[in-house]
Amino acid sequence: MNSISHWFANLGRIFDSPPHFRRVEVVAEWPDSCRPDTIFVQGEAGHQWFAAFLCPCGCADVVYLNLLPGSRPRWRWTKSRG
């Protein structure tokens, strides 16, 4: 029963606010491991292909998002101060 309440607590935390990342690292190759405060953007020469980050629920899975224009589904990201 404890694991179910933990799961619901994490689920509520996900939907309370979107994840905020302190660092953005643009990389040509995926790193061997991700850090919880970092979003990795794969690409080169100003072209961004994919983004990856640790799942905000705490399960330690890596979430990959497509950033390629003309593809569906496609995500966009913005970098802001703070």
Query: pTM for the whole thing?
Result: 0.65
| CA distance linking residue 8 with residue 71, whole number of Å | 33
Note down pLDDT in tens along the chain; length 82 residues.
456 656 556 655 555 555 567 888 888 888 888 888 888 999 887 788 899 988 888 888 888 999 988 888 888 877 666 5
Closest CA to 26 of 1, 49, 60: 49
Handedness of CA 30, 50, 21, 23 (dihedral sign): positive
Cβ(44)–Cβ(28) under 8 Å?
A: yes
